[in-house]
């Protein structure tokens, strides 16, 4: 068995038809289901926004989704309203085998700051507690997949490396927003240069 599989934001709003759909986002669901039995621990992050979250373009008059604005002193991409707490869009993908998930970490629940990483908010003002949980159970090596490669996966991997974990990015288990063409490839390259190992489902299972 491998150590810990970290599933990033595999939620309805990030799948095709969702409020912030990632192209081919649904393709990661069967990959996650295939991998989970091969891990001692499975952790999932969940974007969990209050309805009045300051990252939503709807709360910034005169702007549209994907404009660049500001939130509490930080530059902020303004997003479509997504993953609002207790709505179907915030739920894990219906096809995801959630019975195998043994810990869920929710992020983005402070309306004043966005939280891409599963470990910290974007200003590194507050930790989610995930690092402490993983250290307490003796996890050393995290295998990361999910949505979106060029946003929440990227920041989760960079924070995991900074927290001292060995990290393997499962490249066939991620899809990106690609607001600018090539963003996903650039994100994978950045994660690799920061110290992440690169792997695929086939390599892990074999």
Task: Give yes or no for a contact between 148 and 114, defined as CB atoms under 8 angstroms apart.
Answer: no
Active-site residue flag, 126: no
| Residue 106 CB coordination number (10 Å) | 17
Please provide residue 45's backbone torsions phi and psi, each rounded to the nearest 5 degrees: -95, 155
Q: Which of 13, 114, 150, 152 is catalytic?
A: 152
Note whether 65 and 19 are within 8 A (CB).
no
Please name which of 136, 103, 72, 120 lies closest in space to residue 6, comparing C-alpha atoms.
103
- If one counts every other C-beta atom within 10 angstroms of the C-beta of residue 68, the result is 9
Give the active site residue among 9, 47, 121, 159: 9
83 catalytically annotated: no
For the chain, first and last CA: distance in Å? Answer: 12
- Active-site residue, from 107, 114, 121, 154: 107
Catalytic (active site) residue 152: yes
Catalytic residues: 9, 107, 152
């Amino acid at each position: 068995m491998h150590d810990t599989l970290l599933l990033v934001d595999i939620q309805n709003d990030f799948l095709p038809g969702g409020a912030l759909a990632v192209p081919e986002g649904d393709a990661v669901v069967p990959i996650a289901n295939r991998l989970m039995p091969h891990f001692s621990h499975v952790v999932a992050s969940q974007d969990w926004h209050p309805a009045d979250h300051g990252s939503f373009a709807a709360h910034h008059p005169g702007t549209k989704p994907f404009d660049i604005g500001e939130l509490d002193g930080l530059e902020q991409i303004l997003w479509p309203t997504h993953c609002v707490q207790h709505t179907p869009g915030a739920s894990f993908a219906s096809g995801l085998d959630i019975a195998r998930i043994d810990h869920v970490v929710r992020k983005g629940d402070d309306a004043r700051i966005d939280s891409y990483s599963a470990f910290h908010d974007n200003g590194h003002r507050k930790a989610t507690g995930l690092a402490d949980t993983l250290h307490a159970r003796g996890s050393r090596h995290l295998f990361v997949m999910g949505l979106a490669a060029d946003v929440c996966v990227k920041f989760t991997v960079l924070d995991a490396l900074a927290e001292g974990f060995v990290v393997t990015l499962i490249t066939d288990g991620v899809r990106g927003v690609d607001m600018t063409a090539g963003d996903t490839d650039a994100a994978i390259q950045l994660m690799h240069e920061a110290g992440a190992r690169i792997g695929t489902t086939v390599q892990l299972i074999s």
